[in-house]
Structure 1
Amino acid sequence: MESPVFARRANPMDRTLSPAAYNLVIGLTLCWGFWVNWWMVGNILVESIRSIHPWLFFGGYFASCLTGAWLFHRSNQPWVSFFGYNLVVVPFGLIVNLVVSRYDASLVHEAIRITALVTLGMMLLGTLFPKFFASIAGALTVALLLVIVVELVEVFILGIHHGVVDWIVVLIFCGYVGVDWGRANQIPKTLDNAIDSAAALYMDIINLFLRILRILGRK
């Protein structure tokens, strides 16, 4: 299903940005989210996160993420979308904190470098071939849902995890980066759309980073 953000069409009442300003806002919004996550990793003790009751933690995590996603998907006000974006960034930061604490710092830095290079490459492809990525968006959604079901069965029923699943998820989110970047450049270049597009890309990139880190960790 297409996000309401990427289904938006031009409105004569909307104030549009230049392509350079539009892309700058996307970049700055992404950098804000990554900086918040970096700050959380450096300043929030992992033990304090682990001390939260699992039901409370995951309940709060999903409530915050879903509320944030609803806000930036539905709102056409930049400040509301930015608030919703932060409601997604903060719980993601807690998960990132828990995950990176299990790995050596050099491995985390390598995962960041690889994720950045892959993201830039997929953005370039999304710019060059927007129609191709638009055509695979539905297939990516189906593939992601299937992978989620497979992982839940493996972890909670079979008690195993196949490494190939991580590679599949990496490919899926590589595709999503191309899809969302291509879509971001097809909709009206407004301030609100830039923030909303950055929010979608942020979730793609963080999920990509976590899987790359997991793959590197197995080596």
Structure 2
Amino acid sequence: MDTNVFSRTDTNDEIISAASYNLVIGLTLLWGFIINYFMVANIPTQSILEFGFWPFIIAYFISCFFGIYLFNKSDNPVVSFIGYNFVVVPFGLVINIVVSQFDPEIVLAAVRVTGMVTFVMMLLGSAYPAFFERIAGGLFIALICVIVVQLIEMFFFGTQSGILDWIVALIFCGYIGYDWARANAIPKTYDNAIDSAAALYIDIINLFLRILRIMARR
């Protein structure tokens, strides 16, 4: 089994119908969003902040990278689902910290806009997979450049440019279309559905956080 989810061109696992495949992707995404909602509703933000900035950041990256390793490496849907949760939980803690700073109405509006944008990008990913394949390299380079610029702004100048939020939002719009197109180009198995959902989850949450910042600034 190829360790890159979207490079899997064949499989010995059971092939499922397109409807079942998309249902598993949807349910896996829904599970992640429900866990995040539960965390935001029940974990006090202060208890997260008391953990300390650097210990939190280190634990966040360890958990995320371990989760990504699990669902990329495994062809067992149970193991992949466990890996997915290792990504969902640290993202949920970040979402908890971020949304606590904004009015609930703005948060709900950002959720609604993110859902609509995600739906549109999935449609485009289905309709124009070749286009998203062509822009993949540009998306990656743009994302790396934006991350570097943001780190420089944050640590050396103590500022964050609003235009970068728009750029990152557009980048993750592209990634949603790209990952959805790739999800539908690999064998339709339960494991691939969960792995594809994990990749889409990361795209969608990053898009949501940027849309929230943009809407709050307005």
Amino acid across the alignment from 2:117 = V
Match of 1:4 in 2: 4
TM-score under structure 1 length normalisation: 0.97
Query: Among the aligned pairs, what percent are the same residue?
Result: 59
Match of 1:61 in 2: 60
Q: How many Å separate the matches in 1 of 2:93 and 2:23?
A: 27
Alignment of 1:32-111 (within 5 A): 32-111=31-110
Amino acid across the alignment from 2:44 = L
Name the SS for the 1:9 alignment partner: coil
Q: List structure 1 runs of 4+ shifted beyond 4 angstroms.
A: none
Match of 1:213 in 2: 212
Name the SS for the 1:84 alignment partner: helix
Match of 1:180 in 2: 179
Stretch of structure 1 that moved more, 19-28 or 48-57: 48-57
Q: How many Å separate the matches in 2 of 1:212 and 1:67?
A: 27
**Structure 1, unaligned runs of 5 or more:** none
Name the SS for the 2:15 alignment partner: coil
Q: How many Å separate the matches in 1 of 2:156 and 2:125?
A: 38
TM-score under structure 2 length normalisation: 0.98
Q: How many Å separate the matches in 2 of 1:117 and 1:4?
A: 29
Stretch of structure 1 that moved more, 172-181 or 54-63: 54-63
CA-CA distance at 1:141 after TM superposition: 0.5
Q: How many Å separate the matches in 1 of 2:65 and 2:73?
A: 12
Alignment of 1:117-128 (within 5 A): 117-128=116-127
Match of 1:114 in 2: 113
Q: How many Å separate the matches in 1 of 2:18 and 2:162?
A: 40
Task: String of CA shifts for 1:43-73, please: whole Å, max 9, x gaps.
Answer: 0001101111222111110000000001111
CA-CA distance at 1:10 after TM superposition: 1.7
CA-CA distance at 1:161 after TM superposition: 1.3
Amino acid across the alignment from 2:160 = H
CA-CA distance at 1:159 after TM superposition: 1.6
Match of 2:145 in 1: 146
Amino acid across the alignment from 1:83 = I
CA-CA distance at 1:158 after TM superposition: 1.6
Task: String of CA shifts for 1:139-180, please: whole Å, max 9, x gaps.
Answer: 100100000000000110122211000000000000000000
Q: How many Å separate the matches in 2 of 1:6 and 1:39?
A: 30
**Structure 2, unaligned runs of 5 or more:** none
Match of 2:163 in 1: 164
Amino acid across the alignment from 2:32 = G
CA-CA distance at 1:17 after TM superposition: 0.7
Aligned length: 216
Name the SS for the 1:209 alignment partner: helix
Q: How many Å separate the matches in 2 of 1:110 and 1:216?
A: 8
